A and B are shown apart, each in its own frame.
Chain A
């Protein structure tokens, strides 16, 4: 059986999630490998969500938020940017492939871009293969 990546998407309610909605309502096709979890803001994302997702078997994690400056709560994503940058460095120093975790700013009107990013990311993860390092064997 061919490998189907399991991707966790964490999307902020106001931009990326709405963007995903738009992609849906305009009937854009994008891979179903992504499971989107909605949070109110990208700064809601606890870095442990990401570590935990990898442990529970995600092959990739995609975080989506409003463009810097557009956050519904004004500054949320500016904090998130710093925080997630650190998360990335930590994953990298622990020895994970850098490509498995990605942060994208996608606004509510960028349905197209959402579909595109998901497509691209899914392909990237497909190339990297299953994520086994962090995964807890059950």
Chain B
């Protein structure tokens, strides 16, 4: 069995303290205690004395890469990044939102994170299902090996098999429940536009009241904006107060992008996001 959560927490504290004391970074993005054990919250440690507040347990699901873009460029930041989070970091570097040199990535290999709402294990059904970070400077623990790998796209089969009327009804039902709290966009590390297209008034892209047509416009466009960028952390669906399975659509788009363009999001710093890239020999077939 690999390393325990307590050990990771200890390592995280040690490294955070070292980094802050040496002045290598000015802040450490990690997790702190929420209102109880099962609800840890994102926490920013700015002084060595803050480090004691850091926690890490199986409910620390939030994707901290979300907060990277909030700080001015050139801020030196250390970030605790689990597998999916590290992909978000890579993706943000690809998009030139953060600089590699400004970051210290504290990689956390994980297995068995849990959804704080349901207590269920989070696996490749709702996320990319990776256990080791793809990018890190310091690894807090040992890489996990021998975990069963299943394709993150397996869950899609049932939905792809539906005929279009059924799928339409399914999404109408799901997206129809959206209350437009925008928690999905707040939780998403890739949603950093200010203002978001849906908040614009001129042009007005979609209705803002929580009703089906506007919901559809918001979500479809959001899925499109995240095409080839979504790193499948599943945070949007966990943040959703009405439990819309947004991850399904994101996975589908990610799968299509991978099939069409042969590259998954956030896997290597050298890549270019697929939609700001092209190949002259892309086939016209993809448009059929």
Which of A's residues lie within 8 Å of B, judged by CB?
47-48, 51-52, 55, 68-69, 75, 78-79, 81-97, 103, 105, 133-134, 136
Complex alpha-carbon distance, A84 and B227, angstroms: 11
Contact of A86 with B224 in the complex, beta carbons under 8 Å: yes
- By a CB distance below 8 angstroms, the chain B residues around A86 are 224, 227-228, 253, 256-257, 260, 275
- By a CB distance below 8 angstroms, the chain A residues around B164 are 92, 95-97
Asked if B216 is at the interface of the complex by the 8 Å CB criterion, the answer is: yes
Complex alpha-carbon distance, A86 and B224, angstroms: 7
B interface residues, how many (CB within 8 angstroms) = 41
Complex alpha-carbon distance, A95 and B166, angstroms: 8
Residue of B nearest to A93 (CB): B252
Contact of B220 with A90 in the complex, beta carbons under 8 Å: yes
- By a CB distance below 8 angstroms, the chain B residues around A96 are 164, 168
Given contacts A95-B171, A96-B168, 4 further A-B contacts (CB under 8 A): A48-B206, A86-B260, A90-B249, A90-B253
| Nearest CB of chain A from residue B195's CB, rounded to whole Å | 14
- By a CB distance below 8 angstroms, the chain B residues around A52 are 205-206, 217
Asked if B193 is at the interface of the complex by the 8 Å CB criterion, the answer is: no
Contact of A55 with B213 in the complex, beta carbons under 8 Å: yes
State which of B30-38, B91-99, B132-140, B279-287 sits at the interface with chain A: B279-287
Contact of A81 with B205 in the complex, beta carbons under 8 Å: no
Contact of B221 with A51 in the complex, beta carbons under 8 Å: yes
Residue of A nearest to B170 (CB): A95
Contact of A79 with B276 in the complex, beta carbons under 8 Å: yes
Pick the contact of A69 from B221, B253, B280 — CB < 8 Å?
B280
Interface of A is mostly: helix
| Nearest CB of chain A from residue B212's CB, rounded to whole Å | 9
Contact bitstring B246-280, A, C-beta under 8 A = 1, else 0: 00010011001100110000000000001111111
Asked if B116 is at the interface of the complex by the 8 Å CB criterion, the answer is: no
| Nearest CB of chain B from residue A83's CB, rounded to whole Å | 6
Contact of B280 with A95 in the complex, beta carbons under 8 Å: no
Given A95-B164, A96-B164, A96-B168, do A83 and B213 touch, yes or no (CB 8 Å)?
A: no
- By a CB distance below 8 angstroms, the chain B residues around A48 are 197, 205-206, 217, 221, 224
| Nearest CB of chain B from residue A21's CB, rounded to whole Å | 24
Given A68-B280, A94-B167, A95-B168, do A81 and B223 touch, yes or no (CB 8 Å)?
A: no
Given A83-B275, A90-B224, do A55 and B206 touch, yes or no (CB 8 Å)?
A: yes
Contact of B213 with A95 in the complex, beta carbons under 8 Å: no
Asked if B207 is at the interface of the complex by the 8 Å CB criterion, the answer is: yes
